[in-house]
Structure 1
Amino acid sequence: MSEATPPTTALPDKPKSKTGWIVGIGIAVVAIIVAVVLVAVNVSGSASSAADKRVEVKIGTTEIAAPYWTVLKKAAAKEGIDITLVGFSDYTQANPALSTKQIDLNLFQHLQFLANYNVNAHDTLTPIGSTLVVPLPLYSDKYKSVDDLPQGATVAIPNDTTNQARALLVLQKAGLLKLKNGGTTLSTPADIVAGESKVTVIPVDAQQTAPALKSSDAAIINNNFALTAGIDPTSAIFKDDPSSSAAEPYINTFVARASDKDNKTYLKIAELYHTKAVEESVLAESKNTAVIVKRSNADLRSILAGLEKTIKAAE
């Protein structure tokens, strides 16, 4: 027979304490406040970091009003790059400004011009991205074709070393003059064979070639100065072929100091130039006369080295 189980007595319920409830709410409130603070700090920190990561890049150019700059600046801004343009009125200022760190990059010149500057200034500025080749056109307000130019006609041409040589080659290609030994990228007016030439050249500052059109029979005018003067590029009576191999010395490039040739921010800007929106803006501005060029930096530097070697050999 089993032993009887003693009766059990239920313990009374423990009184509920309001203190625990209050403490729980307090802990929850504190947790919420901490979470809000942490989120605010993170948001603030992220915004601050984003602001800190933005980079300003000063680019020198002789065509500060060109529409494509607006497109390029917007594209760069999306990459955290704020482009500030620095305008120069002529071709002689932007390279010294880059060399002395007044600007970070420049975009105004072709490789022949850069080679000439480097040799004469004993500098080492280097291309970091190709852009385009622009034809060098011959314009006239008085005559509608090259054949209409009379014997002894005057033609204004840029007087800077590189554009002057190219202008002479253009005039030779047009059948308006003859250069000794066929001419080179270093030709000067002294190389003109007078007895076999139809025109007389008048060297003037590049930015004065457009105004000189009124006082001469014709003028060789760089594209940017023609556009600034409101001249329609398609109205040229002659121009060289920007897509030919002979145009390699005239590939325009972004240029940096040699120490910055691998700067990722600068290389990114050169890359952004070749986005569809920027290229379309460039071509539209040139009335589709320019030819977009995509050459490796190794190629550009090789061409530059060859041009510099030729210049040094001619000294």
Structure 2
Amino acid sequence: MNTRRRILSITAVPLLALSMAACSSAAGDDGEGTVKIGVVGASDPYWATYTEAAKAEGIDVEILDFAEYTQPNPALTEGELDLNQFQHIVYLARYNVSSGEDLTPVGSTAIYPLGLYSTQYDSVEDIPEGATVAVPNDESNLARGLLVLQSAGLLTLDGGGSPFSTLEDIDEGKSKVKVTTLEASLTPTSLPDVAAAIVNNDFVEDAGLKAADAIAQDDPSDPAAIPYVNIFAARAGEETNETYVKLVEIYQDTQSVEDGVQEASGNTAEFLKVPVQDLKTSLAKVQKDIEALG
């Protein structure tokens, strides 16, 4: 598939005013061993392409699939994985704060739009007053989903909303729809029963949907979306591991991997190269904001 190359080089991540183990069996700096990487959606063909590209660089990679977003971080914490690649900065910040852990970014991959889908209505304008819309129930994707619904004119959030918005922040008197929450993998299967649903990128294709089917979505190029850049994550202190850094570079710089990611995402991925220190600074800022919220 021919895609236009879209890699943005970020030299500094804005400090946004967001209101945002066990011994490893990995290949270390000596290049020995197999690096275990946890993902959600290992069936996407680009992971096989990525594994082959890593092998060509002398790195053995094993991709381990997880069905739910709640699983890869604990697995990484416990040393069952060496890296994971499935989450954005906000999600990792929430995990670290809630668990007392200190997983850290190793490198950036891409920002993906979060889309609103419907099998009953062709536009948000067609959704009737009082209809129910489903959103993912994990905190970071819940907040982001609510912001998508607000930008689509379906609801109003107190104070304009933030990456920490919850159902309690919905101004029901000013909102067109009702919101229900479901585990992220279940929002696409809810489509026959709700007016529309926020569907995470990982589950769009498996649900028989296409990114182009979205009737609303957020804008990945908006600077306010930076906390939603997806990352490779490792245990603290391992972000400078030469093998891990090389694996990030392989993901970022291999055209066949990028083409596969674009195909899987409906050509919606915005690839980013963000310095690790800037990722860590942004993560620390989001974690501080979460802690301040109590």
TM-score (norm 2): 0.88
Aligned AA (2:244): Y
Residues 107 and 53 of structure 1, relative CA distance in 2, 3 Å threshold: closer
Match of 1:297 in 2: 276
**In the alignment, structure 1 residue 113 sits paired with structure 2 residue 84:** no
Please give the alpha-carbon distance, in whole angstroms, between the structure 2 residues aligned to 1:171 and 1:229.
21
Residues 85-133 of structure 1 deviation map (CA, whole Å, 9 limit, x = unaligned): 1111101110010001001000010000000000010111001110000
Aligned AA (2:51): K
Contact 1:125–1:257 (8 Å) recurs in 2: yes
**In the alignment, structure 1 residue 160 sits paired with structure 2 residue 132:** no
Match of 2:21 in 1: none
Matches within 5 A, 1:225-244: 225-244=203-222
Aligned AA (1:294): K
Matches within 5 A, 1:68-107: 68-107=46-85
Matches within 5 A, 1:145-294: 145-274=123-252, 275-294=254-273
Pair member with larger Rg: 1
Please list every run of 5 or more consecutive structure 1 residues that lacks an aligned counterpart in the other structure: 1-51
Contact 2:157–2:169 (8 Å) recurs in 1: yes
Please give the alpha-carbon distance, in whole angstroms, between the structure 2 residues aligned to 1:299 and 1:117.
19
Aligned AA (1:240): D
**In the alignment, structure 1 residue 307 sits paired with structure 2 residue 282:** no
Using the aligned pairs only, state the percent identity. 49
Secondary structure of the structure 2 residue equivalent to 1:224:
helix
The count of corresponding residues between Structure 1 and Structure 2 is 264
Contact 1:273–1:279 (8 Å) recurs in 2: yes
1:53, distance to aligned residue in structure 2 (A): 5.1
Contact 1:234–1:289 (8 Å) recurs in 2: no
Match of 1:62 in 2: 40
Aligned AA (2:277): A
Aligned AA (2:282): I
Aligned AA (1:108): F
Match of 1:134 in 2: 112
Contact 1:115–1:308 (8 Å) recurs in 2: yes
1:54, distance to aligned residue in structure 2 (A): 4.5
Q: Select the structure that is richer in helix.
A: 1
4+ runs deviating over 4 angstroms: none
Match of 1:47 in 2: none
Please give the alpha-carbon distance, in whole angstroms, between the structure 1 residues aligned to 2:280 and 2:112.
19
1:162, distance to aligned residue in structure 2 (A): 0.4
Contact 2:31–2:243 (8 Å) recurs in 1: no
1:261, distance to aligned residue in structure 2 (A): 1.0
Residues 180-232 of structure 1 deviation map (CA, whole Å, 9 limit, x = unaligned): 11111111011100000000001001110010111101000001111221211
TM-score (norm 1): 0.82
Please give the alpha-carbon distance, in whole angstroms, between the structure 1 residues aligned to 2:271 and 2:135.
25
Please list every run of 5 or more consecutive structure 2 residues that lacks an aligned counterpart in the other structure: 1-29
Aligned AA (1:188): T
Match of 1:34 in 2: none
1:249, distance to aligned residue in structure 2 (A): 1.1
